[in-house]
């Protein structure tokens, strides 16, 4: 039986969230104050219970059919300026230029030293 990449990726995210937030199973419903900010392309900033997670948001520059982040947003993001500051976890789902930029991730991690980076 062949397992699809989506199933593996979904399982990985569930495991990361479980380990990161310390839940084996959710004993109560998630926080009602979940805030989701669209960053661009497949990028999002999730905020809940005083924690922040960036998903596929650190793209860098690339030539593509996808929309690039405005330069001022890219600079704020890489410099970990509000609202992209105090992020606990940075996730990249896979290595495509519209989901991950090595330089952008590196700049961010140098700006936000407490953030942890997780990817496939």
Q: What are the pLDDT digits (tens) for 12-23?
A: 666 566 656 655
The helix, strand and coil proportions of the chain, stated in percent and rounded to the nearest 5, come to: 30, 20, 50
Asked, for residue 60, whether it belongs to a domain, the answer is yes
Average pLDDT, integer, range 6-32:
60
Q: What is the pTM of this model?
A: 0.69
Q: What local confidence, expressed as pLDDT, does residue 1 receive? A: 45
Asked, for residue 79, whether it belongs to a domain, the answer is yes
Question: What's the total number of domains in the chain?
Answer: 1
Asked, for residue 16, whether it belongs to a domain, the answer is no
Asked, for residue 7, whether it belongs to a domain, the answer is no
Alpha helices in the chain (DSSP H): 5-21, 71-78, 102-111
Asked, for residue 82, whether it belongs to a domain, the answer is yes
pLDDT, tens digit, 9 for 90 and up, residues 60-105: 666 667 777 788 888 999 999 999 999 999 999 888 777 788 898 9
């Amino acid at each position: 039986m062949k397992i699809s990449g989506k199933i593996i990726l979904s399982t990985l995210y569930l495991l990361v969230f479980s380990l990161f937030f310390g839940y084996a199973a959710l004993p109560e419903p998630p926080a009602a104050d979940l805030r989701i900010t669209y960053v661009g392309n497949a990028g999002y900033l999730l905020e809940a219970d005083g924690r922040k997670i960036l998903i596929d948001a650190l793209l860098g520059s690339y030539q593509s059919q996808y929309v690039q982040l405005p330069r001022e947003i890219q600079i704020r993001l890489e410099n970990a300026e509000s609202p992209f500051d105090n992020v606990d976890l940075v996730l990249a789902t896979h290595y495509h230029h519209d989901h991950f930029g090595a330089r952008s991730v590196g700049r961010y991690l140098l700006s936000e030293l407490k953030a942890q980076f997780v990817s496939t």
